[in-house]
Structure 1
Amino acid sequence: MDWYIRIVKAFIDRKYIVKIRMANVLIVVCALNVGLLNTVYAGNYYGKTVNIAIVTDGASENAEKHRELLQAEIRGLLEGEYSVNFLSGKQYDGGWALKNIQKVFSAAENNENIDIVIAHGLVSSHVAINTMHLKKPTIATLFLDSDIQSVPQKGKTSGRHNLTYIQHEKTFLKDILLYRDVAPFKTLAVIGDASMTEIAEFRRMLESAKERVKEDGIEFVFVADSGDVDSILAEIDKLITQNDAVYLLPNERLSQKQLAVLGEELLKRKIPAFAMQDNRVIEYGFLAVYSHENTFRRERRRVALNIKDILDGIPAEELSVHLEIDHQLYINQQTLTALDLGLTWNTLKRAKIVNTGLASSPHLSLSQMANVALENNLDLKIERKTLAVGRSDVDLVKAKRLPQLSLGLQQTIIDNDRAMFSNGSNAERDLSASLTLQQVIYNEAAWSNVSAQELLQKSRESDLLTTELDVIEEATLAYINGLRAKSLIEIETSNLRLTEANLKRAKRRVVAGVARRSEIYRWQSQEADNKRSLLNAKSTYKNSLLQINQLLNRPLNTPFVIEKIDKQHAIFEFNRKVTSTYLTGPSALVDFANRSEAYAVTHAPELKSINAVIAAQERLLKAVKRQYYVPDISLQATIQEHIDKNGDGDNYPQGVGINDTDASIAVVFTLPLYSGGERYAEVAQQSNAIYKLRYQKASLENGVKQRVRSIFNQLSASYSGIELSGNALVAAKKNYEMVRDSYERGTVSIVDFLDAQNQVFAAERSSANAVYDYLDDYMRYQRSIGYFFYFNDPQGIYSLMFNNSSNASVNTGVAP
């Protein structure tokens, strides 16, 4: 009371009268009077125990769980102000019968020790709503459809003494028409608690609903739930076929296990099942539910807030009954596939597809991506075959230095007069066989070609390492791109949800007369743009998955799940450790960059490849110069046997001791004296080729150095950008919340509000991109130094670049 007197006295003091109008003083005094009355009213509860009775339709596993969660929510909110005592259990359990529910509800209302009554169930809520004279503040938590169910309403309140309830925007009838777009049906079996059939209004409501949907070609049948799944299924088998559907009303009697059995059996019968409220039934094979993942939590929170308001002095009949929940259509992809159903584009645009089967699909980690790419990538397979061809080239040139042995068979026919005068050395018809051995003793071209091909093979081996590094880089960047695209879907979805919520706010502002319809149109335009952006984001994500499958050389429609990389992933330890250990200042940063560059120049397979090519060209140049003074030396031996000689000249003259076997051996020295300037041209050609390669090497080396330093600079900036973009997102969200509240009060324009939302969207994208930009730079940095240390030994980079005695060789670094 003292605070009231002090404030009123201050406002009526003369020194304030000159500053404010008397009308404003009166307004403040009236407001203070209301506050005083509420304080006096609330004083009846403050500091004492509040007894709250929770009346339930009946006892069950689900009912007990929901009741405990509700009690915990209320205790958490009132803790520190009120001591709460809950009265529940058998004494306030309706036993799933209308008369018993009415009896226990009446007992709670008449109990002088009870301060507040909560009707926590479909039937108990009906009893509360239809009780004309409530003695205690009463909260009804559930009813079906305000369009066809009689509920007291005065504006946004109940208008009935001591009564408030929770009303959603969604209704029973709207659900049914929505679900028919998902799975066409003619007859709908509505499963509800058996106690509902005892309520005359429910029977009337069901008949009214039947009449309303009859023009849409839908027929209702009611299936009573007495807690026995077999009985429910037996009744369903009598009433509907697989061309029909099932609709589950809010249900607390069936346990989670029973719901699972019901969903499984309906799926076996090829009957689509829907639910009114609990989106958890999706897990049990139900096809769809139009709900919100936090519906029950939001309802419990509203009940707790209502109790707080009542205890603070606000009459129950003055509390808002509307609970705004942005409902979402959830569709079970696995059930959709099992029922062989398809969705329209219109349904897909507003639905969230769950249980896509990806959970059972193989997961793909970053390391697995690199390993599978190394094993299956087509470019690498091409390079490996190129290397195999190169090994054959080496074997071919080596073979020319080894002995060559050949067998010949020759049939010769000459004219008879020539044969007659040959004296037996050339028969008219001669069949002979020969065996020839050839051996190169020294040939500079052959010797140099072997050396050159061996060096070129080393170049090809380095080229393979280069391709492996490129494939790992391309694969990991594709993986990160997939993560980026996936995060964009989440961001676009979140932005769309914000726009949808703001569209509802605009509609309420128009109804309240504080905004023009142009605001609705503006938000509708924004909503359409957001939906288009979301579709583009989904398309980008699908394309990123196609790219991954293409890089891994597997069917493009192969399903898989890419594992998320968040800020706590081990991959971020590199920068944390390097920053804290080595990058302690500008000079340390320069030293790290110098060591990175030195390591890259030493181990880059591109440089090793061109070094080998230069060495091969130098060996060929040496061979060309030696041709001026080094002869070619070769040995050839032949033995020939005349197998069959006939005709004229087939015999040697009498007394000549010559047999039919001929043998010869020769050593040949060859030294070209003049070749028309060919050797001089070859020397010039090889010399110029070497100069060209050396220039290419210098250019390549500069490129390697520049790439290392450039990417290192990006890596240094992108890691810091993660924290900065996170701070920007926090600030953007705070700004959005402030602008949103001001927009609801009408103190800022829609332009300012849109700008605040766009800032949040941009900040969310920037924050996500900062993480993936760092990961991109992290992979590119490893590629630039020619060693993917993350996949092999996360600690290895320290010994490779900070231990001068390290003799580590280049390695792609991917663990098996």
Structure 2
Amino acid sequence: MKRSLVLLFLFSIFSGVSQVKQNYTIGILVDYTTSEVEPLLTKLQSEIRAVVGEDAVIHIPESNILANNYNLEKAQQNYDQLLNNKTDIILAFGVINNQIISTQKVHKKPTILFGAINRDLNSDIDLTKETSGVENFTYLIESESFKVDFKIFKELTGFKNLGIAIDAPFVDILPLKETFDREIGALEANYKLIPFNNPNDIINNLEGIDAIYIAGGFFLTTEENRKLAKAFIDKKLPSFTTNGPNDVSAGIMATNQSDDNLEQFFRRIALSVEAYINGESLSELPVFIEYTPRLTINFNTAERIGFPLKYSLIAQTDFVGEFRNILSEKKYSLLTAIDEGLKNNLSLQASQKNVELSQQDVKTAKSNYLPLLTAAGTATYVDPDAAEISNGQSPEFSTSGNLTVQQTLFSEAVNANITIQKKLQKAQEASFNADQLDLIFNVSNAYFNTLILKTNVQIQVQNLELTKRNLQIAEQNFEAGQSGKSDLLRFRSQMAQNTQAMVEAINQLEQGFITLNQTLNNPINLEIDIDDAALSEGVFKEYNYEEIANLLDDPTLREPFIDFLVDEAKTNAPELKSLQYNLEATTRNLKLNSSGRFLPTIALQGQYNRTFDRSGKGSTAPPGFGLIDDNYNVGLNVSIPIFNQNVTNINRQTAIIQKDQLEINKQSTELGIAANIRTGVLNLVNQISNIELSKISEETAIESLELTQVSYSSGSVNIVQLLDAQNNLLSARVARANATYNYLINSLQLERFLGYYFLLNSDQENEAFRQRFFEFLSTRN
């Protein structure tokens, strides 16, 4: 019994001792540090603590984070400092630290070297080993390779003279020339080495190259990368970086590094620390980190430098940036597009010429009341025998001239024609107004359809990225034995289909810009872009969407609202005004050929005659007779047509038929307006409902996909269910993105039927429109 108590007591002591956590102090050696590197070091510390968890207490004092600023001597001092203080584990990062750490024969403290080893470059570490085999030492080898990057960059651009920018301190430390001579030579190209200490060193040495590769620059800030990217873009230089997608987001054209690499890298470092704390030897830990490379391209940068994207690479490419036309020479808002369309559209210009021609017809009709003055000259030769006996009245040779003036004083036909041409001019102006209203809608329709196509490109890109993510899940499931190879093949097929859909979406967007250019009378190949449009923002801020939605949602208000719109449309419709003017012109023509035909035409005529010369026989008058060289006459002409081959009766019958036809067309147009207004309102109701429901649909589809992805990862659902969830999200995103644009298109179409565009009228005019509705509503109650 006593022995048992002793054993129990000893067990409790050992248990208490085992529960005491060990403390580990970690030191971190870096080559350089910036304000943007510090968050990464913080993230690394958090990852280590999270992975180690309850196994130990991790301390990383700020005094143990040492930078050498690319100085070998300082790097040695920093290393010695960690060896001589209470540091338990050393984490070393960078090319300079690599020169110190990798050459150590004996590692006095556990050391993990990472982030400094390129497969093509390092000569101090045996890359054939799966573990370090060195006591107290391990390293992490990334799968990045200059050789692979150069090959991809060559495939993308076909460069002949490559600029390779690398941190200046590395030039004398690393075997760069040997490596680059070998790899660039294999691609049958030349290169120019550009050592740099700051971005200006690169910017000032870009002559003689047709592409630029950033082989270092891990410590460049985002702002410095933006500066470099702008310089490359200005010189139309394709650029490629050995660093990750963050640099591509800053404007560098491309990288072959995955966005997941950094997290994976930090996780491996943390796992190595945990393994050592748990008693594993660093010398036995695996050294390789196999990344899945992902080509990432900045779409906007590629557009700016005129870089043609190869569709063959799209399936293996991620894109950053906005899918908008960076090269646009003009960027339109809806109002500026409408304004330019009204000024430049060719069809509208032709319609304007019809108005001008009708004005000329009015002038021609009025000119019939202007005097007509003619001058004539005559040279006459008369038979000499006849001239001799004419007593001087018809000399053998004579020249003469006359002036004749005619003035219509009254003509029913002229009066009718003036009135008719004025009415036809008004009708033509109304037709021109209709053409303007049509053009405004056509421009708006082309504008919003282009926005829909632009949004569709972005959605197709997102869907392609989603398929790539699902393919990764399928690959993981296949490797874990949770699914068969058929899932992989199905997602690869899906990715090919999504890629084709994205390519088609991009081309459709280009077609949308072509249509808009044509409508605005721009050169078809002019690079343009358009602003986005949203309800309750910008020019649509006054679109009281909720008020209209509530109005149309109430059946007791909907019918009165439709009746009011129909009345307003009939008042505004230029088509009805044109028909009315034509009807008035036809009525005047009918009056002319009815009672008007009995009204006389009264005209005044005068003539002045002069003989300039007489000669030859009969040129002198006999004695007692005189010859008059000047004379004039004035007359008043009154005429009434009695019978003109029955033309008047025929014209009268024709006018009656034309009048009946115009009245029928007017009735048909009024019915069409009423039908269009009612249809437009119903379409608007549909779109209002679509806006609200599409929000719910997209939110539900996103949640459903996330749940399905998790279930598929665990093998709970099959590939068909995952594809259905993805396709459902695609449809929901398209519906959600297009809902607002379709609502605005339908709104503007209703306004076209109404003959009144709220966007183009003042707040006072729009308020007056609302007041007319309330007044109309009060008269019905």
Q: TM-score, normalised by structure 2?
A: 0.81
The counterpart of 1:435, out of the listed 403, 414, 417, is 403
The counterpart of 2:570, out of the listed 601, 605, 616, is 601
Distance 1:607 1:657, change over 3 A: same
Q: Deviations over 1:324-361 (max 9, x none)?
A: 67541347437745xxx766554577665979982673
The counterpart of 2:147, out of the listed 168, 173, 176, is 173
Given that 1:242 and 1:270 are in contact with CA atoms closer than 8 Å, whether structure 2 keeps it comes out as no
The counterpart of 1:66, out of the listed 19, 24, 37, is 37
Q: How does 1:788-807 map to 2 (within 5 A)?
A: 788-793=757-762, 796-803=765-772
Q: Give the letter aligned to residue 403 of structure 1.
A: P
Given that 2:153 and 2:240 are in contact with CA atoms closer than 8 Å, whether structure 1 keeps it comes out as yes
Distance 1:263 1:318, change over 3 A: closer
CA distance in structure 2 between the partners assigned to 1:743 and 1:450 by the alignment: 82
Partner of 1:620: 589
- Alpha-carbon shift at residue 388 of structure 1 (Å): 1.0
520-529 vs 322-331, greater mean Cα deviation: 322-331
Given that 1:41 and 1:313 are in contact with CA atoms closer than 8 Å, whether structure 2 keeps it comes out as no
Given that 1:139 and 1:303 are in contact with CA atoms closer than 8 Å, whether structure 2 keeps it comes out as no
CA distance in structure 1 between the partners assigned to 2:760 and 2:236 by the alignment: 48
The counterpart of 1:365, out of the listed 330, 333, 336, is 333
Partner of 2:12: none
- Say if 2:244 is the partner of 1:275: no
796-805 vs 428-437, greater mean Cα deviation: 796-805
- Alpha-carbon shift at residue 371 of structure 1 (Å): 0.3
Q: How does 1:7-406 map to 2 (within 5 A)?
A: 44=21, 54-59=28-33, 63-68=34-39, 70-71=41-42, 87-88=61-62, 92-98=66-72, 100-101=74-75, 103-104=77-78, 107-108=81-82, 112=86, 119=92, 121=94, 124=97, 140=114, 143-145=117-119, 171-185=145-159, 190-193=164-167, 196=170, 203=175, 215-217=186-188, 225=196, 227=197, 242=208, 246-253=212-219, 273-279=239-245, 288-291=254-257, 326-330=294-298, 332-333=301-302, 336-337=305-306, 346=312, 352=319, 358=326, 361-406=329-374
- Alpha-carbon shift at residue 265 of structure 1 (Å): 7.8
Given that 2:242 and 2:256 are in contact with CA atoms closer than 8 Å, whether structure 1 keeps it comes out as yes
Given that 1:638 and 1:665 are in contact with CA atoms closer than 8 Å, whether structure 2 keeps it comes out as yes
Distance 1:767 1:427, change over 3 A: same
The counterpart of 1:678, out of the listed 647, 650, 674, is 647
- Alpha-carbon shift at residue 65 of structure 1 (Å): 2.0
- Alpha-carbon shift at residue 507 of structure 1 (Å): 2.9
Partner of 1:411: 379
Partner of 2:510: 542
Distance 1:281 1:584, change over 3 A: closer
CA distance in structure 2 between the partners assigned to 1:43 and 1:281 by the alignment: 45
Q: Give the letter aligned to residue 716 of structure 1.
A: V
Q: Deviations over 1:368-404 (max 9, x none)?
A: 1000000000011111111111111100010002222
CA distance in structure 2 between the partners assigned to 1:772 and 1:270 by the alignment: 36
SS for the counterpart of 1:92 is strand
- Alpha-carbon shift at residue 455 of structure 1 (Å): 0.5
- Alpha-carbon shift at residue 145 of structure 1 (Å): 4.4
Q: Deviations over 1:580-614 (max 9, x none)?
A: 77557222222222222111110111111111010
Partner of 1:24: none
- Say if 2:777 is the partner of 1:777: no
Given that 1:333 and 1:353 are in contact with CA atoms closer than 8 Å, whether structure 2 keeps it comes out as no
Partner of 2:579: 610
The counterpart of 2:690, out of the listed 696, 721, 725, is 721
180-189 vs 608-617, greater mean Cα deviation: 180-189
Q: Give the letter aligned to residue 179 of structure 1.
A: F
Partner of 2:441: 473
Distance 1:308 1:409, change over 3 A: farther
- Say if 2:606 is the partner of 1:632: no
Partner of 1:495: 463
Q: Give the letter aligned to residue 178 of structure 1.
A: I
Unaligned residue ranges in structure 2 (runs of 5+) = 1-16, 777-781
Given that 1:152 and 1:159 are in contact with CA atoms closer than 8 Å, whether structure 2 keeps it comes out as no
Q: Give the letter aligned to residue 251 of structure 1.
A: G
CA distance in structure 1 between the partners assigned to 2:233 and 2:711 by the alignment: 49
The counterpart of 1:644, out of the listed 607, 613, 628, is 613
Q: TM-score, normalised by structure 1?
A: 0.78
Distance 1:591 1:515, change over 3 A: same
Q: Give the letter aligned to residue 548 of structure 2.
A: T
Q: Give the letter aligned to residue 603 of structure 2.
A: S
Q: Please tell me the root mean square deviation across aligned C-alpha atoms, in Å.
A: 4.7
Distance 1:411 1:41, change over 3 A: farther
Partner of 1:454: 422
Given that 2:114 and 2:141 are in contact with CA atoms closer than 8 Å, whether structure 1 keeps it comes out as no
CA distance in structure 2 between the partners assigned to 1:267 and 1:708 by the alignment: 51
Identity %: 24
Q: Deviations over 1:393-446 (max 9, x none)?
A: 100010002222222222333434444454444434332221212111221111
Partner of 1:32: none
CA distance in structure 1 between the partners assigned to 2:766 and 2:424 by the alignment: 30
Partner of 1:531: 499
Q: Give the letter aligned to residue 534 of structure 1.
A: M
Distance 1:417 1:742, change over 3 A: same
Given that 1:142 and 1:165 are in contact with CA atoms closer than 8 Å, whether structure 2 keeps it comes out as no
Distance 1:409 1:451, change over 3 A: same
Q: Deviations over 1:299-345 (max 9, x none)?
A: 798699979999999999799966667541347437745xxx76655
- Alpha-carbon shift at residue 97 of structure 1 (Å): 3.3
- Alpha-carbon shift at residue 797 of structure 1 (Å): 3.1
- Alpha-carbon shift at residue 93 of structure 1 (Å): 1.5
Partner of 2:537: 569
Q: Give the letter aligned to residue 275 of structure 1.
A: T
Distance 1:218 1:621, change over 3 A: closer
Given that 1:365 and 1:563 are in contact with CA atoms closer than 8 Å, whether structure 2 keeps it comes out as yes
Unaligned residue ranges in structure 1 (runs of 5+) = 1-39, 808-816
540-549 vs 636-645, greater mean Cα deviation: 636-645
Partner of 1:659: 628
SS for the counterpart of 1:564 is coil
- Alpha-carbon shift at residue 743 of structure 1 (Å): 1.6
SS for the counterpart of 1:504 is helix
CA distance in structure 1 between the partners assigned to 2:161 and 2:409 by the alignment: 97
CA distance in structure 1 between the partners assigned to 2:238 and 2:80 by the alignment: 40
Partner of 2:9: none
Q: Report the count of equivalent residues.
A: 747
497-506 vs 484-493, greater mean Cα deviation: 497-506
Q: Deviations over 1:260-283 (max 9, x none)?
A: 776788889997653111556569
- Alpha-carbon shift at residue 490 of structure 1 (Å): 0.9
